[in-house]
Structure 1
Amino acid sequence: MVNLNTSKSGINVITGIANPERESFVARTLFESGKNIISRAISGEELMAALKNRVLDGTRWIVIFAKDLPGINAIELGKWNDSETSIIELGVGGVPLDLNSLNELIARSLRNPLLHSNSAAPFNTSPRYRSLVGVIGSAGAPGRTSIAMNLAAESSQKHETAIVDADNVAPAMALLLGQSDEKLRNEFKVSAKLSLYTDLSATNEKFQALIDLNSKIYVDLGVMPKISDAIIDRRKSAQEFAHWFEKLSAIIYVANSEEYSIRALERFIDNRADLPKNIKDFYILNKSGTSRRHKAIERRFFDLVPLDLGMVIPYDYSSFDRAQTNCSPIHGVAPRSAIRKSFVELLARIENLEA
């Protein structure tokens, strides 16, 4: 039996290449990029044995092989291409093997679960949890946390609802809702049907319990990173972000009425193909005023976003000031305000999006 001890790098490699010069080049390239070869197979049978005996402990595996490997045609490697293991065949399409092309093949294989819509892509075929909505957006405080909080508060008027603060950079939900005791922040009741979680991941049992209870769940994910980079980022925060994107049914992207935020939205839309194809999306232009500049930004927003997938939320300074002072969602301090009506409409549109 092949005994495979995993590397601490988080990315383990198995090679199956007969040509010694090519194999040496691949090994050197992997070493220079901080990846270790755990097994070097000299036949198709040995490559299969290495695959069967690899340890799946949360690390990612890459298999790099070439058709010159003896016995390679007798095994089926395609079925091993999943969320833990990426398969790379060298020499496909006559692409020359150089440093840049090999590194690109490796980077692309690590992004593969998110980037492809075929049956081998688990990020696209894994079950989506209905009523699990992520809130993301540009940097610069566009109002992601406020949107997530008020959307969840409206949902809790009729349904059991959970709001998750998964912003690893600037978590603020507990403070906004008046919970200053660090010992109590991980989980507490905001109202009869609304609970806040600040230490909940998409992989633990408590999350699954909420799903089993058919709770509506809204997740404040913070600033949207470049998703293709997040998938190969070994840091815990990036991996947690990726785990949420395995399960979300929809995302809400929040921009505000500033030029830099609209440019960030443009980049997000340009890179939309990097996201799983079975996640639905909705766009919000937040904190919009009545000035000519803000109206011009609104027009740009709807040039980028279809009318049925976008919504403008005006900024109501008075209502938000009262909400922050009272550590309350908008419906608790301004139940008849225009801004509250905007959140009611937003909830209806998100629920319709999920239907």
Structure 2
Amino acid sequence: MSIPVLLAVTGASWEAEVVRRAERAPGIRVVRRCVDVADVMAAAASGQARAVLLADVLARLSSDVVAALHARGIAVLALVDPAETGAPLGTEERLSRMGIERILPADVSPADLARAVTDAIDAGPPISTAQFAGGFVPLTPENPHHEPPPYSQGAGRLIAVWGPTGAPGRTTVAVNLASELSAKGVPTLLADADVYGGTVAQMLGMLDETSGLAAAARSASNGALDMVMLAKHARQVNPHLLVLTGLSRADRWTELRPAAIESIWSSARTLAPATVVDVGFCIETDEEISFDSLAPRRNGATVATLEEADEVIIVGTADPVGLTRLIRAVHELQTVAPSVTVRVVVNRLRSGALGSSPGEAAAEALAQYAGIQPAALLPYDLNAVDTAMSHGRSLSEAAKSSKLRKAFQQLATSVVKDLAPA
């Protein structure tokens, strides 16, 4: 199988000749000719290549660019004017200081070019999930300091956190459930798949504009997504928690196609025993376009996630309006994922809204009208939530002794029991 390579030699006097040699090189395949550094980085982010051939004259080439390419597991090779090879304090040394592995003369033969690309890839740093230092499965003997977790490898559980309209606290539940699972030593992936404006990144103090989930979706669309690539798109919050940040703008929802989302969750099951996904409220489908599998669907990512999930946690609020919406949501979910395991979480439990015994009132309403008992009753603790949010932390870090945090601990304990044992 040929190695996919990016070629960025625009501006070099020998550009045309290098292009011909690269196209004749055995075992490698030029998948894209890039015009500048920005084009290179965009193509690299899509996961479509394993190596990049750069001209020494490429504008804005820097060590930061090389480091970013290395971080994505891409080997970097440079091509220089043959007259400058071997010159002291010349182009080769400058490129070497940037961290470029191989520096070749532009008149290199196709066979030698292919060999250099292969060697650069083989000589790269070994890629293993042990490098995440959090016990993410499958661990390898490369790192003896981490014991394999007591969960089945490749059988991770996908937990979708969903709920009706009205901001019942889906993201708060998703973030803190994932945090509590990781606190118990369970390698956990938290993903923000809310196409109407996810806020997982903001709640955890991540203020960059890069969407890890969108990047993973691009890799999936190009057939390049696996466990290792997925972990590279995620950000590590603590030794046992990775986060795939969501869309920076709601109008980017077209980037999350259902097929790509399904591929992401498949890789997530291999990466971690538990994947917690925050999804949007709406699961309505447009009947006029649903027959067209290529047409983008605003709620396609949400529906695909609920269909793929092993378990759905439905979040509702402890007031008459919230409970009515929650009961309807339980029935609505059955039309999308009739066989999925369901846990109902009643959020913002407080006296007054449902009488003097709000917990009993909520449980009675759910039993009577939805035929289900709540898995958790989360007390209304605005101070704890505000403290955690203002510090960009979960409740386990910012409000350890709060009643709300203890309720999340109990919820996580019940979830852990369903994880596949080794």
Q: TM-score, normalised by structure 2?
A: 0.48
C-alpha contact 1:165 1:221 (8 A) present in aligned 2: yes
C-alpha contact 2:162 2:281 (8 A) present in aligned 1: yes
Return the offset for 1:188: 1.6
What corresponds to 1:235 in structure 2?
296
C-alpha contact 1:230 1:239 (8 A) present in aligned 2: no
Sort the Cα spacing of 1:231 and 1:211 in 2 relative to 1 into closer, same or farther, 3 A: farther
Distance 1:295 1:256 in 2: 16
Select the residue among 225, 232, 238 that pairs with 1:191: 238
Gaps of at least 5 residues in structure 2 are: 1-153, 214-233, 247-255
Gaps of at least 5 residues in structure 1 are: 1-127
What corresponds to 1:143 in structure 2?
169
Sort the Cα spacing of 1:351 and 1:252 in 2 relative to 1 into closer, same or farther, 3 A: same
What corresponds to 1:312 in structure 2?
377
Kindly indicate whether residue 324 of structure 2 is the aligned counterpart of residue 324 of structure 1. no
C-alpha contact 1:285 1:313 (8 A) present in aligned 2: yes
Return the offset for 1:322: 1.2
Distance 1:216 1:229 in 2: 33
Distance 1:337 1:308 in 2: 24
Which stretch of the first structure deviates more once superposed, 297-306 or 339-348?
297-306
What corresponds to 2:205 in structure 1?
178
Sort the Cα spacing of 1:168 and 1:349 in 2 relative to 1 into closer, same or farther, 3 A: same
Aligned length: 227
Amino acid at match of 2:262: T
Distance 1:169 1:346 in 2: 26
Return the offset for 1:203: 2.7
Return the offset for 1:179: 1.1
Kindly indicate whether residue 402 of structure 2 is the aligned counterpart of residue 342 of structure 1. no
C-alpha contact 1:227 1:274 (8 A) present in aligned 2: no
What corresponds to 2:222 in structure 1?
none
Q: TM-score, normalised by structure 1?
A: 0.57
Distance 2:332 2:417 in 1: 25
Distance 1:228 1:246 in 2: 17
Return the offset for 1:320: 1.2
Matches within 5 A, 1:82-93: none
SS at match of 2:298: helix
Amino acid at match of 2:349: S
Sort the Cα spacing of 1:276 and 1:345 in 2 relative to 1 into closer, same or farther, 3 A: same
Sort the Cα spacing of 1:151 and 1:208 in 2 relative to 1 into closer, same or farther, 3 A: same
Percent identity between the aligned chains? 23
Distance 2:288 2:394 in 1: 32
Which stretch of the first structure deviates more once superposed, 300-309 or 316-325?
300-309
Distance 1:230 1:354 in 2: 39
SS at match of 2:400: coil
Q: Deviations over 1:279-307 (max 9, x none)?
A: 10010110111226354654442121467
C-alpha contact 1:167 1:221 (8 A) present in aligned 2: yes
Q: Deviations over 1:116-162 (max 9, x none)?
A: xxxxxxxxxxxx96521000112111110000000000111211111
Amino acid at match of 1:193: H
Distance 1:181 1:272 in 2: 33
Select the residue among 280, 283, 288 that pairs with 1:225: 283
Q: Deviations over 1:39-86 (max 9, x none)?
A: xxxxxxxxxxxxxxxxxxxxxxxxxxxxxxxxxxxxxxxxxxxxxxxx
Distance 1:175 1:254 in 2: 20
C-alpha contact 1:227 1:275 (8 A) present in aligned 2: no
Distance 1:244 1:272 in 2: 12
Distance 1:294 1:149 in 2: 29
Distance 2:311 2:286 in 1: 18
Return the offset for 1:209: 3.2
C-alpha contact 2:318 2:353 (8 A) present in aligned 1: no
Distance 2:289 2:334 in 1: 14
Return the offset for 1:236: 3.3
Return the offset for 1:347: 0.9
Distance 2:286 2:356 in 1: 33
Sort the Cα spacing of 1:277 and 1:184 in 2 relative to 1 into closer, same or farther, 3 A: closer
Kindly indicate whether residue 310 of structure 2 is the aligned counterpart of residue 249 of structure 1. yes
SS at match of 2:242: strand
Distance 1:130 1:308 in 2: 26
What corresponds to 2:417 in structure 1?
352
Distance 1:230 1:153 in 2: 40
- Which is greater in Rg? 2
Kindly indicate whether residue 186 of structure 2 is the aligned counterpart of residue 159 of structure 1. yes
